């Protein structure tokens, strides 16, 4: 499985997102899976990567939280969670996405 974290420069949520992803991978016994951080630097790159905002978590190149019709751009991202919109996805939802990807590989 390949997991990547895409961010814009100086993303306020980068640390929280890294901690969440790493913690869940470790919890699921996937301690060997690296989580490289890639900085998206231009609108063109955002469009090429279908970057919906910072932070974006890709699992095997797929954004499990992609919202239909969301426009790519260099902006902060908000995730719909059980407690409202926040800067990182819900841990349970991300855990489920990671588990699903692990069972597909």
Rg, the chain, Cα only: 13
Per-residue pLDDT of the chain (105 residues; tens, 9 = 90+): 999 999 999 999 999 999 999 999 999 999 999 999 999 999 999 999 989 999 999 999 999 999 888 899 999 999 999 899 999 999 999 999 999 998 865
Tell me the C-alpha distance between 42 and 9, whole Å. Answer: 10
How many structural domains does the chain have? 1
Tell me the C-alpha distance between 99 and 74, whole Å. Answer: 29
| pLDDT at residue 105, as a whole number | 53
| pLDDT at residue 50, as a whole number | 87
Distances (CA, A) of 98 to 18, 42, 47, 69, 92: 14, 28, 24, 24, 10
Tell me the C-alpha distance between 51 and 65, whole Å. Answer: 11
pTM over 0.75: yes
Range of the domain at 15: 3-104
């Amino acid at each position: 499985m390949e997991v990547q974290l895409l961010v814009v420069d100086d993303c306020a949520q980068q640390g929280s997102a890294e901690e969440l992803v790493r913690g869940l991978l470790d919890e699921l016994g996937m301690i060997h899976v690296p989580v490289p951080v890639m900085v998206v630097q231009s609108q063109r790159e955002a469009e090429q990567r279908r970057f919906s905002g910072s932070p974006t978590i890709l699992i095997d190149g797929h954004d499990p939280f992609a919202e239909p019709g969301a426009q790519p751009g260099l902006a902060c991202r908000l995730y719909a969670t059980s407690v409202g919109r926040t800067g990182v996805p819900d841990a349970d939802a991300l855990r489920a996405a990671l588990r699903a990807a692990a069972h597909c590989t």
